Structure 1
Amino acid sequence: MTNDGKTTSGKTDFSKFKISNNGASLPVAQKVITHVPVSKPGKQQFVRVSTDPEHSLDCAILKIEDDERPYLLSPNIASLVGQDLKIVCLRLTIDRQGNLSLWMVPPIPENGAENTWNSTQRQVAAMAETKWVRLASNRAVGCYEAVVAQGDIPEPIWPDLSFEDILDIAFGSTHVIEDRDHPALRKLWGQD
């Protein structure tokens, strides 16, 4: 063998590229999550919903028309917003590519007046706790339906992040409203 890794016949000696089977010396890269959407799953997106009770939050959300990201409202501010707020249960989801999102699942109404879209959305979210499902709209009957994945998809691998960290990524400091001087509220109330 020569100094440049060639054998005396001029061919490359590929034995020098062999790595031990355990791979312990290989460099490791870790995905850093920088964005967590807060929305229903996409109509072609198979998701799972976390069954960990720490991965959900009953809360008030405000959507402003020109802003794709919703705002998380503190309870004292939610009482000031009125009909513009939406009460939801944020449920942590993951898709087949390992992307996280927060699904705004509607709660069971206290007054008993149930909306079929909301009740079927809750049913699909519950089904996604154990199966890979897609949320499909069926306008003909006015409800959501679950489309269950037919392949043998492995169980999801949830990232090692606290739910508070996930909420912080999803809302950041700009999309959490804790006082009435927040720019989104001033815009909503016509003060700016």
Structure 2
Amino acid sequence: MSEQTIKQNHEDELVAKQSTTSLLSSLRLPDTYSVSGGTALPLKAIYGKLNKHRFCRIHPGGGYKFRCLVVDDKDRGETYLATPNMISHLDNLAVPKTIRLAVDSTGTPKLIGEPDIDPSSRANLWHSSLKYGIERGETTWVRIQANMSAGQYEIIESANDLGEPRWPNQSMEELINDAFSGRIIDSSDHPFIRQIQGRV
């Protein structure tokens, strides 16, 4: 095979690679693509625990911290927010927490409850380790998972830089309204209060 033929074959391979790269670039779908061909609307945040298999970030802004009373109905798997004037009906079932905004590495938003730490009460490793994990998540990607044998949460920081988090555009009020629609306890006639008082 002549030197000219080898050179020509090399040039043909380069052209083919460039064509393939160009073709692949044209095939890539944008992040906002949906099956219907329209633009994907923002995902609604839900309230709950962080996914132990996904790295997440916690929004550090004060506008995305909402301190309120949280009521967990563990029998029905429901969580409510309660107005402060309902504390006399709920007693210790209503727990003060700070609702925080988190997003995982796919951009899926979630609202989580950051526990209050009472320095005068007995130390609670579950609460203190979760609070620490949330604080770390303000500046770095973390996974938070329960370590039952240690009686606390285990915090794992990402080995690689996962980039900047994709925060939703909604305000905290809008996110909470969506997540807790129909689950606000603001009356003594609320079904949950009627249930715990035996008035059902």
TM-score norm. by structure 1 comes to 0.79
Cα distance in 2 for residues equivalent to 1:191 and 1:32 = 40
- Amino acid aligned to 2:40: Q
Closer/same/farther in 2, CA of residues 31 and 151 from structure 1, 3 Å limit:
farther
* Structure 1 or 2: more helix by fraction: 2
- Amino acid aligned to 1:32: P
Correspondence for 2:47: 38
Q: 1:182 aligns with which of 163, 184, 190?
A: 190
Correspondence for 2:22: none
Correspondence for 1:160: 169
Correspondence for 1:14: none
Correspondence for 2:10: none
Cα distance in 1 for residues equivalent to 2:104 and 2:125 = 25
Cα distance in 2 for residues equivalent to 1:63 and 1:99 = 23
Task: State yes or no: 1:109 paired with 2:109.
Answer: no
Cα distance in 1 for residues equivalent to 2:174 and 2:119 = 30
Cα distance in 1 for residues equivalent to 2:105 and 2:141 = 8
Cα distance in 2 for residues equivalent to 1:74 and 1:68 = 20
Q: C-alpha displacement at 1:66, in angstroms?
A: 3.8
Task: State yes or no: 1:150 paired with 2:174.
Answer: no
After superposition, give the CA deviation of every residue in 1:131-173 in whole Å (9 maximum; x if it has no partner). 111112222222112111112201112111111100001101x
Cα distance in 1 for residues equivalent to 2:160 and 2:119 = 38
Query: Where does structure 2 lack aligned partners over 5 or more consecutive residues?
Result: 1-25
Structure 1 SS opposite 2:170? coil
Query: Where does structure 1 lack aligned partners over 5 or more consecutive residues?
Result: 1-18
| Number of residue pairs the alignment of both structures matches | 167
Matches within 5 A, 1:134-145: 134-145=143-154
Matches within 5 A, 1:1-192: 29-34=39-44, 36-109=45-118, 111-172=120-181, 174-192=182-200
- Amino acid aligned to 2:102: T
Greater CA drift, 140-149 or 157-166: 140-149
- Amino acid aligned to 2:190: H
Cα distance in 1 for residues equivalent to 2:122 and 2:100 = 23
TM-score norm. by structure 2 comes to 0.76
Q: C-alpha displacement at 1:112, in angstroms?
A: 4.0
Answer yes or no: is the 8 Å Cα contact 2:89–2:193 preserved in 1.
no
- Amino acid aligned to 1:62: V
After superposition, give the CA deviation of every residue in 1:1-32 in whole Å (9 maximum; x if it has no partner). xxxxxxxxxxxxxxxxxx9xxx9xx9861323
RMSD: 2.1
Q: Report which of the two structures shows the higher radius of gyration computed on alpha carbons.
A: 2
Structure 1 SS opposite 2:78? coil
Answer yes or no: is the 8 Å Cα contact 1:38–1:69 preserved in 2.
no
Q: C-alpha displacement at 1:113, in angstroms?
A: 2.6
